[in-house]
Amino acid sequence: MIPRSFEYVSPTTLEQALTYLDEYGSNSKILAGGQSLIPLMKLRLASPKYLIDINRISGLDYILEGAEKDSSSIRIGSMTRHHSIETSSLLWRRAPIMPEAASMIGDPQVRNNGTLGGSLVHADPAADWGAVIIALGAKLKLRSSSGERRIDSDSFFVDSLTSAAKGNEILTEISFPVEKIAGGSYAKLERKSTDFATVGVAAQLALDASGNCERVGIGLASVAPTSVRATKAESILRWHEPTKARIEDAAKAAAEESRPMDDPLRGSAAYKRAMVRVFTERALTRALERAKRTEER
């Protein structure tokens, strides 16, 4: 099929794009990477009257590190492509969970065109980035013509395919802290190469000088109506030494917290819950290994 007819605009500044959003309202859609929106339009599951292409706006594609109190923070522009994240030496050094997750997204075409911000606003619970930014404790910056606001990653995903971004807002930046002794990992089970996750688990650990977990983040993908945080699993590790036994207990708790559904293509709820346990243990173990390596530097 082909999309229904629409008006196309291509602003060159963020202010112009926000003006279009105010003018066209709910009749418009933002085009970022287009890897989700264009297929929906071809199937006529989405039929905006106005398409606002923000690819010509400069200043929304960056990966930067800056000081934030006693730690560093990473700031990533919303129009940063998955491939740029996958190949970022800064992220491989300071937050390897990001490029690791990026490398598992779709195929090269999707990674070259798709954007971090576009994926997050689309809010597909089976997508990878939601679990990752939850594990990282990220904050998201949203701009409208009346100003900007920041929202925690835990509050950003409202429902399946529904984010907290309002119709007159554009997501412009994602930021998260990076502690000195920290490591993260993303582990994903997929039915076939380039598929959405059957189960995705993001884990981020920050250790104190004694080797105890000072901060723990565990995000789950594709096992609930939205990307979710495994809070009980986190509490098992927080302020404790991440021993093999504790990691196993945390993985079991994450499985119990998940809310998967039976799926004829990707397995039963019981199977997915079992895989949450397996992949949480894998992600936490790799995150711990990476955290220990940063401590040795």
pLDDT, residue 139, reads: 98
* In the predicted structure, residue 69 carries a pLDDT above the cut 90: no
pTM of the predicted protein model: 0.96
Question: pLDDT (tens digit, 9 = 90+) per residue, 246-276?
Answer: 999 999 999 999 999 999 889 999 999 999 9
Q: How confident is the model at residue 194 (pLDDT cuts 50, 70, 90)?
A: confident
Domains (range + CATH), the chain: 7-53 (3.30.43.10), 63-178 (3.30.465.10), 182-291 (3.30.390.50)
Across the chain, what does the average pLDDT equal?
A: 95
* In the predicted structure, residue 68 carries a pLDDT above the cut 90: no
What's the whole-number mean pLDDT along residues 117-140? Answer: 97
CA distances from 9 to 18, 53, 173, 209 (A): 12, 6, 22, 53
Tokens of 210: 């004694």
pLDDT, residue 295, reads: 66
pLDDT, residue 193, reads: 80
* In the predicted structure, residue 296 carries a pLDDT above the cut 80: no
pLDDT, residue 195, reads: 84
pLDDT, residue 77, reads: 98
Q: How confident is the model at residue 297 (pLDDT cuts 50, 70, 90)?
A: low
Residue percentage of the chain with pLDDT more than 70: 97
Question: pLDDT (tens digit, 9 = 90+) per residue, 80-106?
Answer: 999 999 999 999 999 999 999 999 999
Question: pLDDT (tens digit, 9 = 90+) per residue, 137-184?
Answer: 999 999 999 999 999 999 999 999 999 999 999 999 999 999 999 999
